Every structure is written in structure tokens, then in C-alpha cells.
Amino acid sequence: MKVIVCGAGQVGFHIARYLSAERADVTVIDQSPALIQKVQDSLDVKGLLGHASYPDVLEEAGASDADLLIAVTFADEVNMVACQVAHSLFNLPTKIARIRHRSYLKTKWQDLFSRDHMPIDHIISPEIEVAKAIKRRLTMSGAIDMIPLAEDKVRLIGVHCDETCPIINTPLRQLAALFPDLNIVVIGIQRGDRCITPSPNDQMLAGDEVFFVAETTHASRAMAAFGHEEKDVRRIMILGGGNIGLTLAESLEQEEASITAKVIENERDRAQFVAQSLTRTVVLNGDALDPEILDEGNVGATETVVAVSNDDKVNILSSLLAKQYGAKRAVTLVNETNYAPLIRSLGIDVVVSPRATTVSTILQHVRRGRIRSVHSLGENFGEVIEADALETSHLVGTPLRDINLPEGVIVAAIVRAGTVIIPDGDTIVLVNDRVVIFAAPEMIKKVEKILRVRPEFF
């Protein structure tokens, strides 16, 4: 696959690294000499200094025979024009653009990004995607992550295991016998800096972050088995009234009548704009690091604070301060991955990475096969891929134990005609089944092949 990435910022760099590791032919375009130098020094990609929407620059990048263009510069207009030029002059087949400004994303203008007007195949809005990711975590108390799959018949759930977790220090193969109602598949364990794809003999330890797949109707029971029976969130405080904070508050107003939200925004004009945009959300103008403002917002009665300002340090410190003043849980937006080891030790409950969220959204349009969704579990951890089983797939028609799936690949769930199957070795995948698979990073390309075509079809 030949890919052009427009923009060498955090998202562009991460996408280029991801795709180059999978041996894609990647060219990255940016106007910053420093960013292009970083790309060339760090990745096995071609760096091109220039304006991403200029025809001659796209031509030099190889747009005439490229398969995919991903435009993630900081300017919406550059991303839009780059896609238009790639389509009109080079007939580039698939174009993805990051669009951030709310005006472009209003429903009444949805025809703007159509083949007859501005031919962009997929629009990515980081603020909307991050707000969705945060809202998912709010709807399942105690989870560090929750992703609905197969029209929410199946859920991928991440939890933190502490010393009170009932199922730590137990080999995974014994879980079914000890907890017969625990119908889950553990697909990943984060232990310190290690990412573990578990075998049946592995066990969970105190301090681990564990990712598992469960049928949605059994999700609460599974959370209880991990020692998480927190009450549903009713009161939240959003620290930061930027696009993410406003989008989240709007979504809660429209879809979660049982949740009461308050927003703290430092800039007066922005606070007034946010207040005018919302109907039942209280907006306070002040510094989230000011204890008096937190007290005015009654942070002590708040179940969850959500820190989503534009400054990682402010998000981290305000989350810790809010917890010190009585908030039960903190969901914190952090862009810099370098802070991750520190954050785990500070007591912040949930970390949300805009970059990882945006990358996951882009990847589902990159993967080959009949892919429904792709979710990255973090840096160098792996992906959860939801796909339809094709007639030509190597998965179809053979018991899973006889397929000899590569190490680092786990079939976590199957949805057949609306019924969820948590598979074992005797399970046989049928044509058109919806399959949920975890793949370690080095196995992703193999999983793509397994989902598409069995060897005799090549």
C-alpha cells in the first residue's frame, strides 16, 4: 500500500510510524523542516518539505499512484484542499481528512464533503471522537476504557486490578471453573511497561490493567467479578470548555438526562459562549486550579471530573486537586505519552489520549478485508478488529483449535444472527459471522490476510 500523510504532527507521525512498521510505502509532507527531519530520522518513510495542498508537492509525493491520502495538518482548509487536489488532478482513490472546526461539521452542511462537491471519503474530527471516548467511559463506572462492538452486543472493557480484585493470581484457564458465570475472554494485560497477550496459564496481578471482551448483557457481572461495582455517574464536572469539553457537555445534555454536568472555563469570552451553547449545564468562569472555584462548583459531591483543557499539565494537576477536594474519579486528557508512567503512580483513574483515539478511527479505513471497526489499545499493544467473516477467509469452516492461529492472535467473540458466542476451541466460524479479534502489533498484517483469503484462494 502506498500512503501519503499530510502533516507530521503527533497524529501524522504516529500514523506514519504505524503504517511504515507494517511495510507500507509512506511519504510524509509538512512545512516544518524540524518535523520532516524528525520523521526521516525516526521512521522508515520518505519526508517531503512543502505545502501539502500544492499540486506539485503532491505529485512529487507520488499522488498519481498512491492508494491512500491522510490529511492531518493543523489547518482544516489545507486538509480539505489536499483531498480535492488529490481527487481532481491525480484520481487518488481514498482520501481521509481531519476536520476540527465545528462549523464544517454541522449536520445541515453534511453534503459539503460529497463526491460532487469536496470529495473526501472519510472525515475525522478529533474533538468529537475524544468526546465519544470519554462518554463511553462515563457510561460504565469503574472502567478505564469501554468500546461497544457489533452494534453494542459485545463490549471491549478495560479495568484496573487492585489487591481486592477477586480473580487476581488465578490462571486464566481456571476462571471458567471458578467463576462459571464469568463468560469473558481476556485479550490483553498491561503490567507496568509490558504489554502481554495472555496464554491460558497467565494470571492477572494486582496493579495490572486488563482488557477483556464480554457480551454486553453480562458486562456488569464481569465488572463485579473484577471488584468494580461503582455506582452510575450522576454528577460530573468538566474542567475546560474548549471544543472537547463543549462537545461532551452537548452530548450529555442530548443523550444522558440522568447526568448533571458543570463546566469550568478560564477564559471569560469562551465561558460565555459555552454557557450560551448549553441549556441545562452550569458554566463557571474561573481557573480549574483554584480551590475556590472547585468549591463553588461543589466538586466534593462530584462522582467524576473530566479534565480536557489544552494543557496536559493543567489537566493532570486539576484532576489531582479535584480528587483531593472530594471528587471520586478523574478522567484526564493527556497528549504526551511521556507522562504515562508518571500518571499511573499519581492516582489518576482514566487517561484519554486524543492521538490514540484519532489513530484508531483512521485505522478502520486503512485495514483491508470487510472491516467494521478497529480500536488501538495503546502504544505497541495491539488492535481489536471487528470484521465480517468472508467465504474465502481462513477462519471459516474449521474448529478454532485446528486453525493454528499465530501467537498473539485471539478470537474474542463471534456474533451470529444477533446471538453472541464466546468461543472455545470447538467453535466454528461461519460465513457472514461478525468476528472480534485481538492482534498484537506484529500480527496485524497476518490477521488481515486471515480475514480476507485462505491460502488456496491466492
The 3-class secondary structure across 159-211, one letter per residue, is EECCCCCCCCCCEHHHHHHHCCCCCEEEEEEEECCEEECCCCCCECCCCCEEE
The CATH number assigned to the domain with range 235-357 reads 3.40.50.720
Side-chain half-sphere CA neighbours of 445 within 13 A: 9
pLDDT at 456 over 60: no
Domain at 366-457, CATH class? alpha beta
pLDDT at 300 over 50: yes
pTM: 0.84
59 vs 179: which has the higher pLDDT? 59
Q: What are phi and psi of 353, to 5 degrees?
A: -105, 115
Angle between helices 126-139 and 243-255 (to 10 degrees): 50
CB burial string 343-375: b at 16+ within 10 A, e below: bbeeebbbbbbbbbbbbbbbbbbbbebebbbbb
Residue 169 gets which letter from DSSP?
Answer: T
Tell me what percent of the residues of the chain surpass a pLDDT of 70: 97
Cα–Cα dist 205/186, whole Å: 13
Q: Where are the beta strands (DSSP E) in 105-193?
A: 122-124, 145-149, 154-160, 184-191
Task: Give me the residue spans of the domains in the chain.
Answer: 2-124, 130-225, 235-357, 366-457
Report residue 444 as a C-alpha cell. Answer: 496485524
Is residue 185 exposed (0-12), middle (13-18) or buried (19+ Cβ within 10 Å)? buried
Question: Amino acid identity of 195?
Answer: C
pLDDT at 261 over 90: yes
In CATH terms, 2-124 corresponds, of 3.40.640.10, 3.40.50.1370, 3.40.50.1100, 3.40.50.720, to 3.40.50.720
CA-nearest of 425, 405, 428 to 416 is: 428
- Asked if 2-124 and 130-225 have one fold, the answer is no
pLDDT at 455 over 70: no
- Mean pLDDT across the chain, nearest whole number? 89
Q: Give SS3 for 104.
A: helix
373 vs 242: which has the higher pLDDT? 242
pLDDT at 368: 63
Residue range 130-225 in CATH 3.40.50.970: no
pLDDT at 457: 36
pLDDT at 372 over 90: no
Cα–Cα dist 385/440, whole Å: 11
Residue 76 gets which letter from DSSP?
Answer: H
pLDDT in tens, 376-402: 887 678 889 999 998 888 889 999 999
Query: CA-based Rg of the chain, rounded to a whole angstrom?
Result: 23
Which H or E run includes 46?
strand 46-49
Confidence label for 253 from pLDDT (cuts 50, 70 and 90): very high
How large is the average pLDDT for residues 277-287? 95
